[in-house]
Each structure stands twice: as structure tokens, then as C-alpha cells.
Structure 1
Amino acid sequence: MTKADTRLTSIDALLDQMTLEEQVSLLAGADFWRTVPIPRLNIPSLKVTDGPAGARGGGALVGGKQTAAFPVGIALGSTWNTELLREVGVHLAREAQDKGAGVLLAPTMNLFRSTLNGRNFESYSEDPYLTGRLGTAYVQGLQSGGVAATVKHYVGNESEYQRNTISSDIPERALRELYLLPFEMTVRQGGAWAIMTGYNKLDGTYCSENPRLVNGILRGEWGFTGLVMSDWGGTHSAGESVRAGLDLEMPGPAKARAGLLEEARNDEATRQAVREAARNVLRLIERTGTFDQPRDVRDEAERDEEYPDTRALIRRAGAEGTVLLKNEGGLLPLPTGAKVAVIGPNAATGQVMGGGSAQMNAHRRTSPLEGLRAALGEENVTFATGCDNDRFLPALAVPVRVEYFAPDSDEVLATEERQGSEVMWFAFPEGVNPSSFRARLSLTLSIPADGEYELGLFSAGRSRLTLDGEEVIDNWTNWQPGDTYFGFGSREVRAARFLTAGEHRAVVELTPQPVENTVAAFSAVRLGFRAPLSPTAAQDAARLAAGADYAVVCVGTNGEWETEGVDRWGLELPGGQDDLVRAVAAANPRTVVLLQTGGPVLMPWLDQVPALLQGWFPGQEAGHAFADVLLGQADPGGRLPQTFPARLEDDPTHPGTPDIQYPGENGHVEYREGLFIGYRHVDRAGTTPLFPFGHGLSYTSFELSDARLSAGQVEPGGEVSVLVRVRNTGERVGQQVVQVYVRDVETTLERPGKELRAFGKVTLEPGETGEVTLPLDMRSLAYFDDARDAWVADAGQFEVLVGTSSTDLPVRLPLTLTGEWSEAVG
């Protein structure tokens, strides 16, 4: 008997010993992060933790144990490096285990359908093949360390607008060829152990209870043997969801499945589905090694030390994901000993991650200013803010005392100390009812000088602020819904006050209020505070730049703009950042723009600056990674995983069509663009992007030569390889990405003008030559025929296009498929 047979036999035996009540208990969480243990049968609890750019552990989204913050998804997507993604997965497994977790809620496999999706920064690419290859490597690396990947959000979760209820109505070919493909690859090639369903509906049915999607495609067609869990609060029924194939409702205790036991007692089909779902929970506990070695899942036992090799990996990955978009006259890299003015709202603040459930308490948030000062010496680096780009007033990093009361009592129920003026509650002290309490947060404002100051308050729940005993902000009696805290929070209410130098006592009161469709009793509050910038800040920054050898302008967004729960604001840089770039570029012709965003933005100043880097949110070592690239210690190894359109109207979901295409209306969003997103749309519409998919420069130069196919024709079911020689013709070590696209010359159904089907990344020393071999199989030539419910590659002529971006494909190789190939699904 094989080990696998023994494992399955033992799980069957365990299921036979379990009562129906015990089986049902496994199918909803015990709390926000854990499954239900069954001590009678030595079944341990299994803890999950948020990813995908780190392992936060339990607790709130802010504060909590420190952890390693890795580059966000789009930054890793920019590396086009599967081996790097596998290495990241290995390190994340260790981080998760240190937090007592056997399951990481990652990677995110949704595509960049629209440039305005608030969570695009969590995903890898607009292209399903690139996304699938990178996600597969991440999954393999993570699971090699005994931690389950949870591939999410299955499927069609491409925007945050009405995300808990909206129906993504996707044509079958687009569903198969684009949106399902990355999930298919991570399941069939990556062997993923868990899947998380999306909040949204697919064609009118919630993904979490969609039998075709889960039991039909995922389990039946792809042979998935792992666990399917809901997104938090994304379970909407008891027996129906279990029968559809959803194993685990999260979080717990059971809400949608509160009546599952009674339903199972009265229905044989539900009882059998409960047994299968319980089997999948047990199998995940077994696969993660938790039966043999139960993890310590208590939050207070989490390890929050860091590993030097992980820190080095994050720095290297951050540099490799940085994209050099423009470098006129070889301005970069900066010379050793240069005097540099570092300017902008993202200069002195390390913007290392996006917002929402992806955020964590990083070990550090190294800013570009810190990185350049460490590399060049403080005496060679000056700094000016120039403008701000805050969406909300900044939270304060100060101690906060929290006292808990019953709603109508002044008797203190519990007291605790928190750090920071933003507090989220996912757990409460003993004796505090999460649905009915009043909290008083006390903190001290240290004012450096007399002057006008701004205060801001927003909350999930009703709140108010008093300062030195005087009420300053009332967000209690006139609470207005906003787009904070995943859509459950209020708008930010601001006030201005003249404050004298010294200490001032601030008190925030909060009480929860019911919110429909909330994942649990969720409360949060944030007090923001700052002194307004000088009205001459931009001019002051320009004068500083004029006195330096080079200016590095650090602009972009942050995790308040790029976040879960709300889509992006548009494509313009917020605040006065465009004007700041223009002012600095006019003052210093040697200006470099370092852009940190979670996606494309408009660049009206592009012609005025000679050098431009897209840095994304590259994790906790951001400043050091940027310094490595700016000073030439690392080649900018990134290539765009997303088309940067020249204007919002060039986005495939914003061509002036009704809102039904984006963001949706009447509970539906129609994917009317079908197959044509990203570079596929560019080819079809004939638009000129600001920067094309796959674009990225290097500090060295490369030559592609001797590109050829292993055979000029291939029989149905066969494979062919693309071979190309790459030579580093410059004077620096550098990285190049060879990209292979396929065009169907004689297609039966409409297809995109070309589709990415292979890629390979090489690192070469000056003068070195390497050969890249990239295989193409039948799926590389195929489309999905929805009439035949099959993958089909038509007999006839294809073109294999080879180059370094979607618009730079100088090599065209003819390929003939000698007969039709098809593969039915189901």
C-alpha cells in the first residue's frame, strides 16, 4: 500500500469515527483564522493567515506581530522570473510557520481586466499565461515548505465595486481562455492544495455555491483534490453551498451554515456532501503535516524575528521588479559620489505595500531617502517633500490606551495598550461583547510649534473626537457611509485647529453599529493628524533640486489609494504631484522620476524628464532596492506585466460604453470586451499605449539572433520548441526577457492578433551569450470552442513571434499544424 493509500485509508477511518455533528463542525471556522479542533479524535485546529505579500498571522490588519513584507503581486509579476517566485514561496512558507499557520491565503490569480481595479496590485498580470506561470511557481515553492497555497479569488473578481453581490457575466470563451486559465494552471501544474472562491457571482450564482464552477470545472475537469473555502463572509447558504463543493465557511463561528446540521440530518445528499467536505478539511490538515506536528496557533506565541536571507531576497526581488521605462542619454545609473536631491511625498515614507487584507506590520519600511542616504552618505543627499499625496490624514505612531465599557455604563470592563492611532478589532478582551460595547482611546499629541493643524476621523462604527476636553469631530450623530474599511466604514471627517506647542490630550470614542453583509462584528477607527504643508513647498523643492547634481522625484500613491474594498480613483496622480514633477524637471534637467503605484497612471510630464522608473510597492526593503537600481548595483530587471494606456478611454472597459461594462449596474457587470483586454485590446483597437505590455529597458544592451523552431510543422498532439540566442552586447551584467507570442493565421473563430505563449529570462555578463529554449504545446495553439465544449487548434498556418515586448517582435517564424487537434472538457 502506498503512502497516499495509507493516508486516504486513515482519513476514511477517521471519518467513520466522527459523528455527523463533528463532521459539520469542521465546515466553518472556529474564529477569524482557525478551523474547529476535535480533541476527542485528536483532530487539531488549522490556522490560516493572510498573504500574498507576507504572512501576517492572526490579529488585526494594522499593528500586531512584525513580519517580512515581500513585494506585492504586480511587482513580482514584473520580474517575469518563475524561479524567483518559487524562491519567494519557499521563504513565505517559513514565515507562515513562524506565525503558527499551515495555510497562506495566496496567491491572487485575478487578471487586470480594468486599470481601475483597486486590488490589481495584488495580482501578477493582465495576461493569463504569465499569471499562471508565476502563480504556479509561487504555489510550488510555498507547498514545498509544507504550507498550503490558497489560490484566489475563484473567479471573475476583477473589481471592488459591489464586490459582495455583483454578478460577473463573462462569455464562455473569455472565461475559459482568460479568467479560468491561471487557476487551471495552478491546480493542474502547481498542485494547489486550496482554493478561495470570490465574493462575486458568476452569471448570477455566487461563486461559493456555483456547482458548475466548483464541482464541475474545478473538481470534475481539473481533478482538484484540495479544499475550497469561501472568502471571508462569502458563504451564503448551508446545504446548497456544501452540495456545490464549498468545503469551509470562513470566518467562524458558522453564520450561513448555522443550520447545516439540521439540514444534513434530513437530507441524504447533504449528509454525503458534508462527509466529502469534512474529508477535504482533514486532507488539508494532513497535507500540511498538522496531524503529525500540530502547530502552535496561539497568536501570542508567534515568532516575529526576521531572517537575513529573507531580507536579502526581498531586496533582490524589489530591484528585479523595478521597470526602467525611459533612460534618455543614459542618465541612469547615477555616478558614485553624486549629490542628489530626493523630492516628493513618497521620498521619506516607505510605500512598501498596498492596503486592505494584504497589509501587515512590516519589520521596516525603508524609504527611497533612507536607501540613497545609506548608499551615498547623508552629506550627499538632500530632501524636500514638495507636495502631499495622502488620501486620508496620516495616522500617528504613538501609544494608545484603550478602555472598554458597556454601551450605557462608565464601568471599565477591560483595558489594553495599543500602538498607533488606527485600531482595528478582530479580537476583544474577555468580557467585551464585540457587537455591543463602547471604547475610549486616549493618546497624546505632541505639538512642536504653535500653528494650524488638521485632524481627521473615520470609523467602522460611530466615533467622535475630543481634544483637551472639547469635541472637535462628531462622527457619531451624523455618521455618513464612505469607502473606508472594505466599504463598512464612514467617510473621513476633518477639522482644523490652532494648537500651541506642547502636549494635548486627544480622546476618541467608538461604538459598533450593524452593517449589512459584514464578515463578522467588525469595528475600526482612525485618527489622522498633520500640519499643512507650506504654500511654497513645490517651489522650495525645485530650488533644492536646482542646487544638486541630480534630482530623484518620488511620486505615486500608497495603500490608501490602492486597496481592497474600493476601486482606483482614476489614472491621474493625486494631489499636486504632476505640477511638482514639472517644477523639478524645469529646475534640473537631470531629473529622474521614481513612480510607485499599483498600476498605470497618466504622465503629462513624460517628455520633460529624461529618466523614469516604475517601482511599484516592493516590500520592506524598498529604499535599498531602489538605491541598488539607481546606482547600478542591480540591473532594473522588470518588464511591464500590464499595458499602460495613454488615456483612460483606451482601457478596454472604458470606451464610452454604458456602466454595465464597468463598474456595472443593476447588480451585473458584463465582460463585453470578451477576449480583448490588455495588449489584445491594443492590437484590435489600434491604440498606441503610453508603454506596452512587456516593455522594460536595461543598463546594458542585448541582441537576439538565430531564432528558430525545432521543426517547421507539428502533428496534432505534438510539441515544438522555440530556440533563440541572446547576447549581452553592452558593458554591464543585465537581464533580458525573451517573449514568444503565437498568431493563428487561419483561425475559424475570432482570436486576438497574438497571445503570449512562452517566455524566458536570462542573466548575462558583458559579452556573454546564452540560448533560450521555450516549448510550445497544443494548448499554445488552441482556442476554446464553446459550441464543441473543447479546446481546438485548427489545422493550418501559425506565426510564432519572438521579441522583447508586445510591440517589439522582430522575429516571425512560420509554423504549420498538420491536422486539427481538439481536447474536450468535462
Structure 2
Amino acid sequence: DWSATTSTVSSALGGLDLIMPGPNGPWGDSLLAAVRAGRVPEAEIDHKVARLLGLARRVGALNGAVDGSGAGHVASPHSALIDPALLREVGARSFVLLKNDRGVLPLPAGSVERLALIGPNSIDPQTQGGGSVRVLPVHRPSIADALRDAMDAHVSVHQGCVTSATIAVPGEGTLHDPITGKAGVHVVIRSADGSVLHDAPFPTSVVTWWDGLPEAVQLRGAELTMRARYRAEVDGAHVIGAAGVGHISITVGGTLVAESTSLPPRDVVEALSRPPELRVPVRLRAGQEVEVQVDYRPVGRFVTMRLGIAPHFQDDHLIEQAAQAAAASEVAVVVVGSADGTESEGYDRDTMALPGRQDELVRRVAAANPNTVVVVNSGMPMLMPWADDVAAILQVWFPGQAFGEALAEVLTGDAEPGGRLPVSMPRREADSPVLRADPEAGSLVYAEGLLVGYRGYDRSGAVPLYCFGHGHGYTDWTYESIEPVASSIAPGQDLELTVNVRNSGGRAGREVVQLYLDGAEDDPTLPIRTLAAFASIAAEPGETAAARLVLPARAFAHFDERLHRWVPQPGAYTIHAGRSSRDLRLKAKVVLQ
């Protein structure tokens, strides 16, 4: 991983094919010297290159070539990597339907004439977290377009409020290179003595260290200049935001309007995901063009440079506009969640609350339209103080490039939301078993032991808003019987069980049968019960399906730190079968001898 490798010879001989970042570090010149000295065989380098090229070939990364010749997608069996249908299916199966008490969902095509799509994440959906995990989507239709296509309805779009940590990148067609006229910007890189090292157009207003810039951009005193001509689409106040760690100045129409210097954040990933930003207000008329220039001298290693330009809207106006749109529509779909740069590796969230005024937005929309469906687009649990006020809630996480299409299929019922919560959703931050995990005096003490997540909630007696394992589908299920193959087992022996579940609803569906195991003795330092097995089954209406599960022998053991091994705990255990950690419908007894 990033900066995780510190040795040269041992890492090269240990099977590692790639270190990051490069080209400096323990490899580079040091590895070349080790090869020349005979400490690392040259054949070892050949093998590394071959494996890396083999991976690139597998995923079609060699200029689109497959198996080294021709262009096109990756051939079977790797077509699943880019199969659009699979992307939609995986997205839908990850969505968790938290609430649908009145059966507002699904909304079959043709059942709704007017739908209001509301929320900051409906316009700027988050498909993945920040940091080094981020990759560029091959294709990403907007949520609005996907809903229009699937529902055959009039869909109006309303931002609702502003949440982004940085000013939005200018919309498509509004930004052009002032020299070539091409869409995008013009980037010039100069050395400390003013020599021009790079002079070329660039397709977007976000430039990062991996974009093929000359290595000289990392030299002390290097300066990047980004020029662009922006055309306003609306009248009124706009905001220009230039982001990057170091010295930044903004020139508008040939006049220097602002400059500042920022210091490096604690983690380099923060400099990439949410770099410090210098903002300038300007007033523009619709159709007016203005030239903007940003001059940037990085501090330390160049990571990213970003130019955002967007109309400046007041939240009060956006919320009122959204409420009016909801009142004029049959259904309101509100997409809220994390803003770009708020969930990333390298730094933590400060709160579980939704950024900005999204809670207020949801309440206002719900008051205007009883058929309000909230879609939560976040990678972590969020507080939902409005949960009782809305008709339905979908937790969609960061679902990838097929977000819009998968959401449309779930909302219309073409696909069933198939996910179950892998975390607990708290009513209040204070209810969380472990809210803060900050080192003290350089030491991080895990005083909670095993009492994290649902195990901590169970032991404390706190009631989460939505518990671990929770999730609805579009049909109902009746748990009929639980049948262990034995009532007594020996240490080290697995236990097989069958749980019979009947689809008691009106459409085909999929259920996740969960088994929880109560401990043989009630030790207050241990969980009351733990998830021991789960299985998914599918059934038609009225059909009974048998879920066959295996409780592993280790479920009946505890790890002994003194002995450094798993030790069976004899005694009587209770096995619960149900839909979640708090919805347990059947039980059986088993004795570990």
C-alpha cells in the first residue's frame, strides 16, 4: 500500500510486484542497483512486469486491447468486470429498504405522472468513497435520466440545499480552453526560473498527480497555471473556487481578485479528496463569458489542483423550491447523503449527521408530500431524525456507476432491494457502542472488547433505529420451522440446520435467513448473541424454501489469549433464526458436550 514498503531486496524477492508511490522510494534506483549487484535476479523483474501486464491485459487496460491485439471489451470469462446488467444487479442487491410501512414502493412504470427528484445527491451522486480507491466510471447515466426512462413520468430535478465541501466543477459545455476553444482548460507548468515545461489543453478543471504531467511539477518552486473561459447559464451571484495545498491566486478578466497560502493537511489523502479552497464571489449574466486564471505553487509534493465555478444559491430558496415541487407532484424522491470529499481514507467524519441542511430539507419535503421516499447515499450510518415522517427509506451506500439505473429498477419494482444492514443505524450518536476511537498518549486501547456494533447494542440494551441484519423486500415471509440435525454435538464438530421459510406475500422474492447463537454462559464482557450463519433463498408466492446452513465449530468456542488458540465452551446453546438481530422468529437448543 501507499508508503508501506520500506525495504528493497526482501520486498522484491518476497513476491511484491508494485510499490506506491513511485518512482522514488525503496525501489527505483535502489532496485536497479540491487539487480546490477546480483542481489535480485533480473528474471525476477521480468516476472513482475509480466504479471502486471497480464493483469492490465485481463481488464482491457492496454489501450483498450484484449489479449494484446484488437480493441474491445474483455472477453469471457472476464466480461463480468464490465457487464452493465451485472452492475445494475449488484447495485440493486446492495440496496437496503429500511422502511416501507405504507407500501408506497414499488412504483410501477406508468403509475406516476409527476415525480419530484430532490436533494444534492440527486445532482451529484456519490458512487464511491474518496482517496486512492477512486476510479473513473466508464458510463454513468444521471439518476433523473434513469428515472425518466424507467417510469415514463415527468421528473423535475431540484437541488434542495448545498452540501459540497468544494465549489462544483463547471457543468458540461460551460468551460473552454481560451487558446484552442476546446472543452476544458489550458494548463501551463513553469519551473522555478520561469521556463515553460508543459503547455497543453486539459479536458477537465481537476488535475491530479497521475494525469501524466512532467516530473518537474514536483520540483521546488514549480508553478501551474490553469486558464479557462466560463460561460454563465443563469443570472446572479456565482462563486469561483480554486483548491490545492500551497499558494493560489485567482485572476478574473485580467484582474487579480484573491490569493492565499494553505498548509499541508495531516494526511496526503485529505489534500486529494478535500484540498483547501480559495473562494471568490462574482456576479454574472446568463450567457456572459469571463476568463478565469488560477496560478498555483504547490507546497511539497504536487497532489491536485482544482477549479470550480457555480451559481451561488441560498439554501432557504432551494429548500422552498423543493417543497413547492414536492407539493405539486404525486411522489417525491429525496436523495441525500455524504457530499464529495466527506467520506474517504486518511481522515474521519466529525459527525453522523447529514452534511448541511439536509435534515431540514427532508422534513420540509415530507410535510409537503406524504409520499416521500428518502434515498440515503452514504457509506456509513447516518442519523435519520425524520424517519417517522417519510413513507419509505432506502440505504444505497456508494453503489458504483450503475447507481441511477439500479435505483430506477428498485423504485419501479423491476428489481427487489436485496441488501441487509451490515451495521446498526443509531437513533442518536450517543447510543453508538464505540463513537470515538482516538489514540491517547500514542496508544489506542480497545476497552470495548467484542462489544461493538449490534453486540454492543444488545449488551447495553440500547435500541437502534434500524438494527443489524434489517432490510425489507417487496414480499412477506413466514418462518415455519428450524431443524438441526442433532441436539448434541462434540467439540470441533459443525452443526447443520434447515430453516423452512414460506413466501407469504404476493410476488416472488428473496430472503436472507440469519442464525444467531446465544452463549453457553452469560459473561457481561461477551456478546449476548452473535451472527453464526446466514443464507439467501428465493421463492415464488406461496412457495416454501429450505435454507440449509452450517454453524461452524468455532461458533461454539472462544479465543483464549493465554493459550493462543480457540477453546470450545461446553454447555447449552440457543440458536435463533430470523430476519435480523432483533427480529428472531424461531429457536432451537443444542448442547456442546
Instruction: Report TM bin, short chain.
Output: 0.7 to 0.9
Equivalents in 2 of 1:546, 1:294: separation in Å?
51
TM-superposed CA distance for 1:499, in Å, is 2.7
Q: Specify whether residues 698 and 643 from structure 1 end up closer, same or farther in structure 2 by C-alpha distance, changes over 3 A only.
A: same
The one-letter code sitting in structure 2 at the alignment partner of 1:321 is S
| The one of 416, 426, 429 aligned to 1:648 | 429
Q: Check if 1:334 corresponds to 2:107.
A: yes
Mapped contact 2:492–2:568 kept (Cα < 8 A): no
Equivalents in 1 of 2:591, 2:164: separation in Å?
55
The one-letter code sitting in structure 1 at the alignment partner of 2:464 is P
The one-letter code sitting in structure 1 at the alignment partner of 2:368 is A
TM-superposed CA distance for 1:315, in Å, is 0.8
- Residue 357 of structure 1 aligns to a residue whose secondary structure is coil
How much is the aligned-residue C-alpha RMSD, in angstroms?
A: 3.4
TM-score, normalising length: structure 2: 0.86
Query: Residue 540 of structure 1 aligns with which residue?
Result: 321
Q: Specify whether residues 629 and 670 from structure 1 end up closer, same or farther in structure 2 by C-alpha distance, changes over 3 A only.
A: same
Mapped contact 1:426–1:522 kept (Cα < 8 A): no
Equivalents in 2 of 1:261, 1:354: separation in Å?
33
Query: Residue 674 of structure 1 aligns with which residue?
Result: 449
- Percent identity, aligned pairs only, is 36
TM-superposed CA distance for 1:785, in Å, is 0.5
Query: Residue 722 of structure 1 aligns with which residue?
Result: 497
Structure having the higher helix fraction is 1
Equivalents in 2 of 1:734, 1:434: separation in Å?
56
- Residue 365 of structure 2 aligns to a residue whose secondary structure is helix
Ranges in structure 1 where 5+ consecutive residues have no aligned partner: 1-230, 515-520, 655-660, 819-826
- Residue 444 of structure 2 aligns to a residue whose secondary structure is strand
Mapped contact 1:319–1:635 kept (Cα < 8 A): yes
Query: Residue 458 of structure 1 aligns with which residue?
Result: 243
Mapped contact 2:372–2:390 kept (Cα < 8 A): yes
Equivalents in 2 of 1:627, 1:286: separation in Å?
42
Mapped contact 2:481–2:586 kept (Cα < 8 A): no
Q: Check if 1:421 corresponds to 2:228.
A: no
Q: Check if 1:373 corresponds to 2:148.
A: yes
Q: Specify whether residues 284 and 791 from structure 1 end up closer, same or farther in structure 2 by C-alpha distance, changes over 3 A only.
A: farther
| The one of 474, 479, 482 aligned to 2:262 | 479
| The one of 146, 151, 161 aligned to 1:387 | 161
Query: Residue 322 of structure 1 aligns with which residue?
Result: 95
Q: Specify whether residues 815 and 388 from structure 1 end up closer, same or farther in structure 2 by C-alpha distance, changes over 3 A only.
A: same
Deviations 1:318-348 (A, max 9, x none): 1111111111221211243312221121223
Mapped contact 2:234–2:311 kept (Cα < 8 A): no
Query: Residue 180 of structure 2 aligns with which residue?
Result: none
Deviates further, 742-751 or 281-290: 281-290
Equivalents in 1 of 2:106, 2:304: separation in Å?
44
Equivalents in 2 of 1:301, 1:439: separation in Å?
34
Q: Check if 1:232 corresponds to 2:13.
A: no
Deviations 1:608-638 (A, max 9, x none): 1121111122111211211111111111111
| The one of 460, 463, 482 aligned to 1:707 | 482
Correspondence 1:443-454 to 2 at 5 A:
443-454=228-239
Query: Residue 566 of structure 2 aligns with which residue?
Result: 791
Query: Residue 178 of structure 2 aligns with which residue?
Result: none
Q: Check if 1:561 corresponds to 2:342.
A: yes
Deviations 1:60-85 (A, max 9, x none): xxxxxxxxxxxxxxxxxxxxxxxxxx
Equivalents in 2 of 1:387, 1:600: separation in Å?
21
Q: Specify whether residues 747 and 607 from structure 1 end up closer, same or farther in structure 2 by C-alpha distance, changes over 3 A only.
A: closer
Q: Check if 1:251 corresponds to 2:34.
A: no
Correspondence 1:762-781 to 2 at 5 A:
762-781=537-556
Say how many residue pairs are matched. Answer: 565
TM-superposed CA distance for 1:248, in Å, is 5.8
TM-superposed CA distance for 1:242, in Å, is 8.1
Mapped contact 1:593–1:611 kept (Cα < 8 A): yes
- Residue 359 of structure 2 aligns to a residue whose secondary structure is helix
Q: Specify whether residues 343 and 314 from structure 1 end up closer, same or farther in structure 2 by C-alpha distance, changes over 3 A only.
A: same
The one-letter code sitting in structure 2 at the alignment partner of 1:323 is V
Query: Residue 309 of structure 2 aligns with which residue?
Result: 529
TM-superposed CA distance for 1:393, in Å, is 0.9
Equivalents in 2 of 1:301, 1:404: separation in Å?
32
Equivalents in 2 of 1:542, 1:329: separation in Å?
21
- Residue 670 of structure 1 aligns to a residue whose secondary structure is coil
Query: Residue 297 of structure 2 aligns with which residue?
Result: 511
Mapped contact 1:395–1:528 kept (Cα < 8 A): yes
- Residue 407 of structure 1 aligns to a residue whose secondary structure is coil
Equivalents in 1 of 2:262, 2:48: separation in Å?
43
| The one of 587, 590, 594 aligned to 2:371 | 590
The one-letter code sitting in structure 1 at the alignment partner of 2:262 is W
TM-superposed CA distance for 1:729, in Å, is 0.8
TM-superposed CA distance for 1:709, in Å, is 0.6
TM-superposed CA distance for 1:298, in Å, is 5.7
The one-letter code sitting in structure 1 at the alignment partner of 2:245 is A
Mapped contact 1:714–1:816 kept (Cα < 8 A): yes
Mapped contact 2:122–2:334 kept (Cα < 8 A): yes
Mapped contact 2:22–2:28 kept (Cα < 8 A): no
Q: Specify whether residues 320 and 296 from structure 1 end up closer, same or farther in structure 2 by C-alpha distance, changes over 3 A only.
A: closer
Mapped contact 2:189–2:217 kept (Cα < 8 A): no
Q: Check if 1:633 corresponds to 2:418.
A: no
- Residue 767 of structure 1 aligns to a residue whose secondary structure is coil
TM-superposed CA distance for 1:430, in Å, is 5.3
Mapped contact 2:245–2:262 kept (Cα < 8 A): no
Mapped contact 1:392–1:492 kept (Cα < 8 A): yes
TM-superposed CA distance for 1:485, in Å, is 5.5
Query: Residue 332 of structure 2 aligns with which residue?
Result: 551
- Residue 533 of structure 2 aligns to a residue whose secondary structure is strand
Correspondence 1:15-94 to 2 at 5 A:
none
Equivalents in 1 of 2:544, 2:50: separation in Å?
47
Equivalents in 2 of 1:355, 1:418: separation in Å?
22
TM-superposed CA distance for 1:642, in Å, is 0.8
Mapped contact 1:461–1:524 kept (Cα < 8 A): no
Equivalents in 1 of 2:50, 2:33: separation in Å?
28
Mapped contact 1:435–1:512 kept (Cα < 8 A): no
Equivalents in 2 of 1:255, 1:483: separation in Å?
20
- Residue 810 of structure 1 aligns to a residue whose secondary structure is strand
Ranges in structure 2 where 5+ consecutive residues have no aligned partner: 176-183
Mapped contact 1:760–1:774 kept (Cα < 8 A): yes
Mapped contact 1:644–1:690 kept (Cα < 8 A): yes
Query: Residue 467 of structure 1 aligns with which residue?
Result: 252
Query: Residue 191 of structure 2 aligns with which residue?
Result: 406
Equivalents in 1 of 2:519, 2:388: separation in Å?
37
Q: Specify whether residues 616 and 261 from structure 1 end up closer, same or farther in structure 2 by C-alpha distance, changes over 3 A only.
A: closer
- Residue 218 of structure 2 aligns to a residue whose secondary structure is coil
Mapped contact 2:479–2:585 kept (Cα < 8 A): no
Deviations 1:148-194 (A, max 9, x none): xxxxxxxxxxxxxxxxxxxxxxxxxxxxxxxxxxxxxxxxxxxxxxx
Mapped contact 1:725–1:772 kept (Cα < 8 A): yes
The one-letter code sitting in structure 1 at the alignment partner of 2:240 is L
Equivalents in 2 of 1:390, 1:540: separation in Å?
19
Deviations 1:425-451 (A, max 9, x none): 225455745324322211111113442
Mapped contact 1:464–1:508 kept (Cα < 8 A): yes
Deviations 1:508-547 (A, max 9, x none): 2223322xxxxxx433111122112254221222122112
Query: Residue 284 of structure 2 aligns with which residue?
Result: 499
Mapped contact 2:151–2:412 kept (Cα < 8 A): no
Equivalents in 2 of 1:261, 1:412: separation in Å?
32
Mapped contact 1:239–1:263 kept (Cα < 8 A): no
Q: Specify whether residues 788 and 352 from structure 1 end up closer, same or farther in structure 2 by C-alpha distance, changes over 3 A only.
A: same
The one-letter code sitting in structure 2 at the alignment partner of 1:693 is F
- Residue 770 of structure 1 aligns to a residue whose secondary structure is strand
Equivalents in 2 of 1:433, 1:578: separation in Å?
43
Correspondence 1:589-628 to 2 at 5 A:
589-628=370-409
- Residue 538 of structure 1 aligns to a residue whose secondary structure is helix
